[in-house]
C-alpha cells in the first residue's frame, strides 16, 4: 500500500488539471476503481468527479470519505502552469488507496462511498455531488487535508480541522449623472458608496469569535472624469469561524448597502452573495477519528483541534443533510512553504498513515 499510494500520487501530480477540468484525472481514478472491483459513478456537475462504491452483505451505515482532485493555476517564470499546490493529488491518492484496501477484503455491512470531488478551489464540486444526489444517503462523511508545517508536522494529525466560513457579497450603488460643473444636479454614486464602505467599519461581531469584513472591489462605471458618476460596483469579503456570525454579518452588510445610500438619494442593491459555510462536526465522528489517529500515530501524534481561517467546500455536505456525522482529518506532512504556493512540497512518507487513519475509521463503522 505504501508503494501504491505514492505511485498514484506521482501519477496524479504529473497530470494536474484545474477546477472544473479534471477529465483525465477522473477517468484515471474511475478506471482504477473499476479494476479494484468498486461500483463506479462518474459525475460532470461542477467538474469531473468520481465515486467508488462498495456494499456490504449486511445492513449498516453509509460512510463517505472525500478526497478532492483539482489543481491550481499559477504563473511561474512568466508562464501559466497548473500545479497541485493544495495537495489534492495526495488526498485523491489516499482516497484511492483506501478504496483499494477496502475492496481487497470487502466490507461486512453498510456502504462505503469514496468521493473524488472536483472543483474544491472554486467551491463548485461538493455542490455538484449533492445536486447529483450522491450524498443523500450518507450517515457519515470524512475529509482529509494536508496541513502546513506551522499547523502540523509529519507524524502528527488532528481529528478536527475547524475551517471558517467565507462569503463574497456583490453590491452596486446607483446615483444620477450630471456635468462636473453642476454636481448639485446629480447624485454622486462614489460619495454614496464611500459611505457604505465607512459604514462597514461599524460592523461589530463578538470580538471573541474570529471574523472579518472588508471591501475588496470598488469600481466606478465612469468613462470620463468631468461628470458625476452614477454607478459603483463593490465586493465585500466576509470571514467568520461560526455560521451564526456569518449570517449576522451578511444581514448587517446587506442592510447597510440598501439603507446607507438613501441618505444621499442614491440606491444600493445587493446583487449576489455566495460562499461556503464554516465547519460543523459531530462529537462522535471526532472521537472516532481521534481513536484512529492515536492507533496509527500514537498518543503523541494526536494534535488538539486546529482552527483555520481557510475554507473548504466539504462543509456543503452537512449543510445539505444536517444529520450527516462529519469529521475532518488535518494531516501533518512537513509541508512548506505553504498551501497554494507553486513551490509547495511535503513529505510523501506520511500518505500511508493517512490511508490507515481513514481505513481504521471505516473498519470501525463497516467492518
Residues binding Zn ion (CB under 5 A):
86
Q: Is the CB of 86 or the CB of 362 nearer to Zn ion?
A: 86
Q: What is the DSSP letter of 10?
A: H
- Nearest approach in angstroms of CB 222 to Zn ion is 36
Helix, strand, coil fractions of the chain, as percent rounded to 5? 35, 35, 30
- Nearest approach in angstroms of CB 257 to Zn ion is 29
Q: Is the CB of 254 or the CB of 336 nearer to Zn ion?
A: 336
- Nearest approach in angstroms of CB 230 to Zn ion is 39
Q: Is 271 helix (H, G, I), strand (E, B) or coil?
A: strand
- Nearest approach in angstroms of CB 20 to Zn ion is 14
Query: What value does the CA radius of gyration of the chain take, rounded to a whole number of Å?
Result: 23
Residue 213 in grid coordinates: 469584513
- Nearest approach in angstroms of CB 123 to Zn ion is 10
Q: Is the CB of 70 or the CB of 205 nearer to Zn ion?
A: 70
Q: Is the CB of 187 or the CB of 331 nearer to Zn ion?
A: 331
- Nearest approach in angstroms of CB 228 to Zn ion is 42
Q: Which residue is nearest to Zn ion (CB)?
A: 86
What is the C-alpha separation between 277 and 241, in angstroms, rounded? 9
DSSP, residue by residue, 321-363: STT-EEEEEEEEEEEBS-TT-TT-B--GGGHHHHHHHHHHHHH
Q: Is the CB of 86 or the CB of 98 nearer to Zn ion?
A: 86
Measure Cα distances from 329 to 130, 281, 288 in Å: 21, 11, 11
130-153 burial, b for 16+ CB within 10 Å, e for fewer? bebebbeebbbbbbbbbbbbebbb
Residue length of the chain = 367
Q: Is the CB of 147 or the CB of 252 nearer to Zn ion?
A: 147
Amino acid at each position: 500500500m505504501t508503494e501504491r499510494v505514492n505511485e498514484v500520487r506521482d501519477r496524479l501530480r504529473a497530470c494536474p488539471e484545474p477546477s472544473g477540468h479534471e477529465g483525465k484525472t477522473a477517468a484515471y481514478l474511475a478506471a482504477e476503481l473499476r479494476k479494484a472491483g468498486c461500483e463506479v459513478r462518474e459525475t460532470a456537475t461542477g467538474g469531473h468527479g468520481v465515486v467508488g462504491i462498495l456494499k456490504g452483505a449486511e445492513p449498516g451505515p453509509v460512510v463517505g470519505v472525500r478526497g478532492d482532485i483539482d489543481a491550481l493555476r499559477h504563473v511561474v517564470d512568466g508562464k501559466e502552469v497548473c500545479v497541485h499546490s493544495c495537495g489534492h493529488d495526495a488526498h485523491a491518492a489516499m482516497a484511492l488507496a483506501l478504496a483499494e484496501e477496502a475492496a481487497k477484503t470487502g466490507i461486512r455491512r453498510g456502504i462505503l462511498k469514496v468521493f473524488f470531488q472536483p472543483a474544491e478551489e472554486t467551491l463548485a464540486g461538493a455542490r455538484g455531488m449533492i445536486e447529483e444526489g450522491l450524498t443523500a444517503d450518507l450517515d457519515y462523511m470524512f475529509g482529509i487535508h494536508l496541513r502546513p508545517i506551522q499547523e502540523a508536522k509529519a507524524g502528527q494529525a488532528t481529528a478536527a480541522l475547524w475551517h471558517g466560513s467565507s462569503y463574497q457579497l456583490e453590491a452596486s450603488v446607483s446615483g444620477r449623472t450630471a456635468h462636473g460643473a453642476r454636481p448639485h444636479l446629480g447624485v454622486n454614486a462614489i460619495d454614496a458608496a464611500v459611505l457604505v464602505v465607512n459604514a462597514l467599519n461599524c460592523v461589530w461581531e463578538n470580538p471573541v469569535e474570529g471574523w472579518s469584513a472588508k471591501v475588496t472591489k470598488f469600481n466606478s462605471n465612469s468613462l470620463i472624469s468631468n461628470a458625476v458618476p452614477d454607478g459603483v460596483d463593490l465586493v465585500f469579503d466576509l470571514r467568520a469561524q461560526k455560521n451564526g456570525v456569518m449570517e449576522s454579518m451578511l444581514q448587517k452588510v446587506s442592510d447597510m448597502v440598501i439603507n446607507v445610500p438613501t441618505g444621499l438619494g442614491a440606491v444600493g442593491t445587493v446583487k449576489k452573495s455566495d460562499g461556503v459555510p464554516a465547519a460543523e462536526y459531530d462529537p462522535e465522528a471526532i472521537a472516532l477519528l481521534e481513536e484512529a489517529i492515536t492507533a496509527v500515530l500514537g498518543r503523541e501524534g494526536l494534535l488538539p483541534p486546529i482552527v483555520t481561517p481557510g475554507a473548504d467546500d466539504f462543509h456543503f455536505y452537512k449543510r445539505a443533510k444536517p444529520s450527516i456525522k462529519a469529521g475532518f482529518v488535518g494531516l501533518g506532512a512537513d509541508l512548506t512553504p505553504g498551501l497554494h504556493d507553486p513551490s509547495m512540497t511535503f513529505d510523501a512518507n506520511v500518505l500511508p498513515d493517512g490511508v490507515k487513519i481513514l481505513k481504521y475509521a471505516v473498519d470501525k463503522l463497516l467492518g
